[in-house]
Chain A
């Protein structure tokens, strides 16, 4: 469904350097029982955020008020495992609009693009720079500029460009989704289907 447009985002960032974070961690399976897309943010990283009694775990970054923002800077191979789009719904619902990593799992990345969370792939060196800058100053601002395809540490001006295909970039900037595009192609698809 349509989502908020994404153009330029300036925000502080939340660091989560753990590698191979799978979608079962982002949203455990037992919270997938909804029939509507609401309230998933409450259970984002549920078992890392809360103990079995529901008490917040002090050592998890989302429970540390030092860090906040709309950008999650994540370790490599973020979003691996299950195809559950609920993982991205949970990130979005919690307030993240952009996830930065040196490496994303494929399905997760597609899911992000489909619901308006921008996945930004940076070099491992730039990811390290981001983690270091946030550790040194949790209030440091990061700018993600989709039209220019750049990510910048505003305090130092350190920047890097990132890839996104023109079609998805255009969609993100306008808040369009693929169904709008596909429905406009109905006649071509009908012709194709008839031959299958």
Chain B
């Protein structure tokens, strides 16, 4: 019998037709949309005089540019307001389910999909957002698309895609104290570079990955795009099923049993061949932080910023440009550098487990006076749970400012911007120039490292601050 990878099994089941010498006509089970990358797609549908073919397969929420304060009031920024209103208008017109600002399931699109149980193993999921790869944690093929493709999905439920190559990344063994799934993915990206998986779809495997919660798996799959991969996925298992069972859109009763029986077939066969295989040891991974302007520029927080030794040409020029932007010098330690802001949130680390981790660590401490600390839950559901568990009280006591759900300072489309020249240690996914505001300097790290930095006001090894 043919040996197939998990990725092949799902991909091949969704090919309507293979175009000779061209891409596959690829069927999409679920489509998420938000206010920023959908309006032009809807506009073009109108220009073509066509509608939305399968509205029940699309789910909408405004997240990218929404304010994170006063969400019950009219949005002050005119352009943001227009985008959100356009989304409401389009959803009403075509009968698309909308989780609007203030509603029970409003939040970042990649946080609410799993919360609602919309995201399920074996599915194909797309969204006009590169972090759609998050949903791969459930054993789904999920990836980001452009607005032209959003339009294709709305019009036909299909896109034209060439099948990517396959890579398996295995992580084996037990994680050390203070090391989280964010450190795993930052470590992997630092090893293979921000372009190391371009052209590939990644399956994460190995005992370390299997031991992770769904939240932690989502963090890893979320950042697949940061090494260039279209997406990353993890075979579903009992952890996946326990998370999904009872969720609003998860199958129930007999359907649940049938679904689990199918989901249990979603495994890479022994002997299946990948185009590339990489293995890492969990014991080699320590708390990570980025020092440059792409997510591949990461080091262990205890290490020095790499020197320029062995670099030449445009590689060296680009490296020095990045360090110049960050205000760092080659070869110097990163520990002890002063920080101005911390941000806990985003589709990478804005889930309940992340907020729990930060709250547990800062309990009984105060943030440093020099630090502005923002915590932005990924969804209303996360916010509600954090309240119920008493986490919000702990965080506010420590001096964190709790804001309302949205993408917020991860991409700073709204007012949550880090001022020019200031340093932010952030649980988000991108440290690009200006990502968190024009001139802002971003260092990516885990929620634990961010918690440690909030307390000391400096780049800190979380293992040093909190001991046991």
Contact = CB atoms under 8 A, between A and B. Distances in A.
A85 B82 contact: no
Given A17-B314, A34-B79, A189-B16, A107 B413 contact: no
16 contacts: A24-B432, A29-B413, A36-B39, A76-B195, A81-B430, A82-B411, A84-B146, A105-B228, A106-B199, A167-B22, A167-B23, A168-B22, A185-B16, A193-B27, A193-B54, A196-B27
A106 to B, nearest CB: 6
A20 interface: yes
Nearest to A34: B79
A177 B156 contact: no
A165 B439 CA distance: 40
Nearest to A181: B160
A88 interface: yes
Interface in A73-89: 75-77, 80-86, 88
A138 B156 CA distance: 45
Contacts of B430: 22, 24, 81-82
A82 B228 contact: no
Nearest to B318: A19
Given A17-B317, A106-B199, A114-B149, A1 B439 contact: no
Nearest to A48: B433
Chain A to chain B: the 9 pairs with minimum beta-carbon distance, closest first: A167-B22, A33-B79, A85-B146, A83-B144, A111-B146, A114-B148, A166-B21, A35-B39, A83-B130
B142 to A, nearest CB: 12
B101 interface: no
Interface stretch (B44-52, B168-176, B246-254, B450-458): B44-52
Interface in B404-434: 411-413, 420, 430, 432-434
Contact of B37 (A36, A80, A84): A84
B160 A182 contact: yes
A77 B433 contact: no
B315 interface: yes
Interface in B183-235: 194-195, 198-199, 225, 228, 230
Contact of B195 (A80, A110, A181, A182): A80
Given A47-B438, A107-B130, A178-B160, A37 B314 contact: no
Contacts of B82: 33, 35
Interface string B291-310: 00110100000000000000
Contacts of A84: 36-37, 146
B25 interface: yes
Nearest to A115: B148
Contacts of B21: 165-167
Contact of B314 (A18, A33, A105, A181): A18
A124 B318 CA distance: 16
A167 B23 CA distance: 8
A33 B80 contact: yes
Contact of B230 (A24, A104, A106): A106
A115 to B, nearest CB: 6
Contacts of B225: 81, 107
Interface of A: 1, 17-20, 22, 24-25, 28-30, 32-37, 47, 52, 75-77, 80-86, 88, 103-107, 110-111, 114-115, 165-168, 177-179, 181-183, 185-186, 188-189, 192-193, 196
B158 interface: yes
Contacts of B413: 29-30, 32-33
Contacts of B199: 106
A111 B148 contact: yes
B164 interface: yes
B412 A185 contact: no
Given A19-B314, A165-B21, 13 more contacts: A1-B47, A1-B48, A33-B80, A34-B39, A35-B39, A35-B86, A52-B438, A75-B318, A77-B194, A85-B128, A165-B22, A167-B22, A189-B16
Contacts of A179: 48, 148, 151-152, 155-156
B194 to A, nearest CB: 6
Contact of A83 (B37, B159, B433, B434): B37
Contact of A178 (B17, B148, B296): B148
A33 B195 CA distance: 28
A42 to B, nearest CB: 15
Contacts of A86: 147
Contacts of B155: 179, 182-183
A18 B317 CA distance: 8
B146 A166 contact: no
Contact of A22 (B23, B294, B439): B294
A19 B314 CA distance: 7
